[in-house]
Structure 1
Amino acid sequence: MTSQEVEVLVVGAGQAGVAMSEHLSDRGIHHVVLERHRIAERWRTMRWDSLVANGPAWHDRFPGLEFSDLRPGEFASKEQVADYFAAYAEKIGAPIRCGVEVASVRRNTGAPGFQVETSEGSYNARYVVAATGPFQRPVIPAVVPGSAAVQQLHSSSYRNPHQLPEGAVLVVGAGSSGVQIAAEIQRSGRQVYLSVGPHDRPPRSYRGRDFCWWLGVLGLWDASTPPQGAEHVTIAVSGADGGHTVDFRELAEQGITLVGRTEAYDGGTVRFADDLRKNVANGDAHYLQLLDEADAYVERNGLDLPEEPEARAMRPDPECLKNPLQELDLEAAGVASIIWATGFVQDYSWLEVDAFDDRGRPLQQRGVSSEPGIYFLGLPWQSRRGSSFIWGVWHDAKYVADQIAIQRSYLAHNEQEMLVAGV
């Protein structure tokens, strides 16, 4: 079968793939975007029912289109986010082919470019952009065996409390997903245990400005590398119920039992690390540091923003924080479900090129791979802290498109030189 020729083949039509298409089109570069499901499918089917974006509508979007059905300070539902990207793709005329799965990408032998095998046939591409993002394969740590008498599911499979068997629930992971899921289940009338690991805890808003704004004016979105030892620290922030600051003490007051990081399992008992107080204290310190930096910014720039001294008030420590549980007998506590809000790993098994380290992580600099002609988009910290966020991936895509355009210019010069030489 004859391969279809394309200059740039983009794999994935989520936020990264749509952004990539816009910048390639702006430069007149012929490309196609292949998506195995629908545009922004992960927003529709790998999120729980009540999920909303963690940033307000004015911030979590691309520059070329606003949310038509939201006020700037509102938080988009998962369906609104998916519809937004579908509308954006239509607006820019993105050449997206849905229902096409990429099986393999291999470098051509004795010729430039790559052979791409898909469910609809072969492509021959000069450049390939892996725009599948960081949320590819759910991770459930090997702590509780599958044979244990408790239902286990990843947060990407959780939809709502009604799908869970009767009984208490242990939620492992206290980033944005774990916190929101735990609160929703507790409101449904269940007993919930929330396993809290290291985290950053910014204020939802402060002195009348959203934390997304503060991270912007303070230059924190542009940090090029995470603080040492904090490469995998999650952000505990919520856009649910109109947006609010995550407060673990408040969650405990509402009836959630906080426990430390889930560490081991033995004979029906889950054991927790003795780190709950430290993790909460470190989250508090991060929170207060951001308030300090915001106050200094206001004073330095003479801004007329209302003071908010009550933001520094801390609730009293609940009993579960003063005397944390070290272990939990699941049967005795009536725990029938464990939800692992423990993130994802990347899966590039289809990309059969020399572009990865010994742990399978992309070898890249701002999306430019160590394998010439291969590019990545949507990676955490690809160029800055904001890289895996909606607005950040748009700016990273612009840089990657520029790099492809530069390579095209070299090839065009070479071809012109050959024509002049009569080769």
Structure 2
Amino acid sequence: MSVEKINTLVVGGGQAGIAASEHLSNLGISHIVLEKDRIAERWRTARWDTLVANGPAWHDRFPNLEFNVSGPDDFPNKDEVADYFEAYVKMINAPLRTGVEVIKAAAVAGGNGYHIETTNGTIHAQNIVAATGPFQKPVFPKLIPEDPDLLQIHSNAYKNPAVLPDGGVLVVGAGSSGAQIAEELMTSGRDVYLSVGPHDRPPRAYRNRDFVWWLGVLGKWDMQTPGPGTEHVTIAVSGANGGRTVDFRRFAAGGMKLVGMTGSVEDGVLHFADDLAKNIANGDKNYLSVLDEADAYVDRNGLDLPLEPSARESWPDPDCLTNPIRTLNLKDAGIKTVIWATGYVQEYDWLDADVFDTQGKPQHKRGVTDQQGIYFLGLPWQSRRGSSFIWGVWHDAKFVADHIKTQQVYLDYKPS
């Protein structure tokens, strides 16, 4: 069987893999990109129907192409985002192959480069860029026993309220996904409980500027590591409904019942941690800190941005906050569905390389590992806070491609 030879194999045809392809092409590095499904598949099939980007179109894009449907300040829907990446692949003429899965990749024994087995043949490459992103394997806690009268799904399987069984819904996790899904269910008339853990809760916009603008001028996108103890703190922000600040008190005023982090279950009774007030207070603290820094920036730079005193007004504390619900009998409460908005873990079973820690997470510096020829792309906090965003992964991809090019220059050198 013939073996295809290439300098660099990029695994994954989402935003990370497409960005890598653009920079590798610009540097003249031969490469192919393999995607086991379609381009940007998760945007199309692993998201709910009404999902929109968390940032406005002017900001959450690659530098060389604008969205052609949404206006600059709009939030593109999931299908428009997927279409955007398909258009980008055509624009840069990326050597991307869909429907091809990598089965195994390992260093060539006694030689150089890597031997890669795929569902469409064998490839030999000098470098591998693992660009499969952060949303690989859904975290689905096996906390509640299976029950034919209770549907349990991960947020990646949720589509819309109409496809769920009649009855109440418990959403576990109050980051961007959990908050948006819970609000949509509440608006549809469902009885909704939302389990709220530690979170950051920035304003969607303040003083006529979106929060992505504030994070930019305040230098927060360039933070290189999360703060101590905040590695697992999620961010509650949404572009839904034209973009509104996530406000859990507002949710409660609309009828949603807030509870603390989900703990244990005994005989159909869920037990929640006594941390709801603390989590809400810390989210408020984060929210107000952004307003304070924004005000200081406006004053310091003499900007003519309108005052917005209403941004500091707060909904009253709901009863579920002052008298927290610590236990919940699912059947008595009429809960027929539990949606686990509990995130994802990275999975690299196909990559045989000594570049992972004891928990299976890649060990790297800005995507570059200690094993020659192995790179990662699309990881949260890969180089900075903005790495998980579309524009951020584009800049991370440039760094990785530059490193591959530099190494190749050394390898190609021949003394005169």
Residue 21 of structure 1 is matched in structure 2 by 21
Please list the CA deviations of residues 233-260 of structure 1 after superposition, one character each: whole Å capped at 9, or x if unmatched. Answer: 1110110010000010000011100000
Alignment of 1:258-407 (within 5 A): 258-407=258-407
Residue 145 of structure 2 is matched in structure 1 by 145
Aligned equivalents of 1:215 and 1:225: distance in 2?
15
SS in 1 for 2:127: strand
What displacement does 1:146 show?
2.6
SS in 1 for 2:263: strand
SS in 1 for 2:222: coil
| Matched-pair contact (CA < 8 Å) for 1:12–1:34 | yes
Residue 40 of structure 2 is matched in structure 1 by 40
| Matched-pair contact (CA < 8 Å) for 1:148–1:268 | no
| Matched-pair contact (CA < 8 Å) for 1:175–1:199 | yes
Aligned equivalents of 2:114 and 2:305: distance in 1?
55
Aligned equivalents of 1:314 and 1:281: distance in 2?
12
What displacement does 1:111 show?
1.4
What displacement does 1:58 show?
0.3
Aligned equivalents of 2:230 and 2:117: distance in 1?
38
Residue type at the aligned position of 1:218 = L
Aligned equivalents of 2:140 and 2:122: distance in 1?
35
Alignment of 1:80-119 (within 5 A): 80-119=80-119
Residues 148/328 of structure 1: CA separation in 2 closer, same or farther (3 Å cut): farther
Residue 217 of structure 2 is matched in structure 1 by 217
Aligned equivalents of 1:315 and 1:329: distance in 2?
28
Residue 203 of structure 2 is matched in structure 1 by 203
Q: TM-score, normalised by structure 2?
A: 0.99
Please list the CA deviations of residues 36-86 of structure 1 after superposition, one character each: whole Å capped at 9, or x if unmatched. Answer: 011000100000001000100001100000001111000000000000000
What displacement does 1:188 show?
1.5
Aligned equivalents of 1:143 and 1:49: distance in 2?
27
SS in 2 for 1:111: coil
Residue 50 of structure 1 is matched in structure 2 by 50
Please list the CA deviations of residues 107-140 of structure 1 after superposition, one character each: whole Å capped at 9, or x if unmatched. Answer: 0012110000000000000000000000000001
SS in 1 for 2:339: strand
Deviates more, 1:140-149 or 1:15-24: 140-149
Please list the CA deviations of residues 78-109 of structure 1 after superposition, one character each: whole Å capped at 9, or x if unmatched. Answer: 00000000001110000000010000100001
Residue 2 of structure 1 is matched in structure 2 by 2
What displacement does 1:149 show?
4.2
Residue type at the aligned position of 1:185 = L
What displacement does 1:298 show?
0.6
Deviates more, 1:252-261 or 1:136-145: 136-145
Residue type at the aligned position of 1:279 = N
Q: Does 1:179 align with 2:184?
A: no
Q: How many residues align?
A: 416
SS in 1 for 2:162: helix
Aligned equivalents of 2:222 and 2:80: distance in 1?
27
Aligned equivalents of 1:196 and 1:370: distance in 2?
38
Alignment of 1:244-259 (within 5 A): 244-259=244-259
Aligned equivalents of 1:185 and 1:203: distance in 2?
22
Please list the CA deviations of residues 364-396 of structure 1 after superposition, one character each: whole Å capped at 9, or x if unmatched. Answer: 110001221000000000000011111100000
| Matched-pair contact (CA < 8 Å) for 1:172–1:195 | yes
Please list the CA deviations of residues 168-211 of structure 1 after superposition, one character each: whole Å capped at 9, or x if unmatched. Answer: 00000000100110111111111000000000000000000000
| Matched-pair contact (CA < 8 Å) for 1:195–1:262 | yes
Residue 31 of structure 2 is matched in structure 1 by 31
SS in 2 for 1:298: helix
Q: Does 1:163 align with 2:126?
A: no
Please list the CA deviations of residues 280-310 of structure 1 after superposition, one character each: whole Å capped at 9, or x if unmatched. Answer: 0000000000000001111111111111111
What displacement does 1:147 show?
4.3
- Where in structure 1 are there 5+ consecutive unaligned residues? none
Please list the CA deviations of residues 318-350 of structure 1 after superposition, one character each: whole Å capped at 9, or x if unmatched. Answer: 111111100100000000110000000000000
Residue type at the aligned position of 1:161 = P
Please list the CA deviations of residues 7-39 of structure 1 after superposition, one character each: whole Å capped at 9, or x if unmatched. Answer: 000000100000000000000110000000110
Aligned equivalents of 2:372 and 2:324: distance in 1?
52
Aligned equivalents of 1:248 and 1:183: distance in 2?
9
Residue 228 of structure 2 is matched in structure 1 by 228
Residue type at the aligned position of 1:56 = P
Aligned equivalents of 2:335 and 2:152: distance in 1?
11
Residue 71 of structure 1 is matched in structure 2 by 71
What displacement does 1:148 show?
7.2
SS in 1 for 2:202: coil
Identity of aligned residues (%): 62
| Matched-pair contact (CA < 8 Å) for 1:134–1:378 | yes
| Matched-pair contact (CA < 8 Å) for 1:170–1:335 | yes
Q: TM-score, normalised by structure 1?
A: 0.97
SS in 2 for 1:51: coil
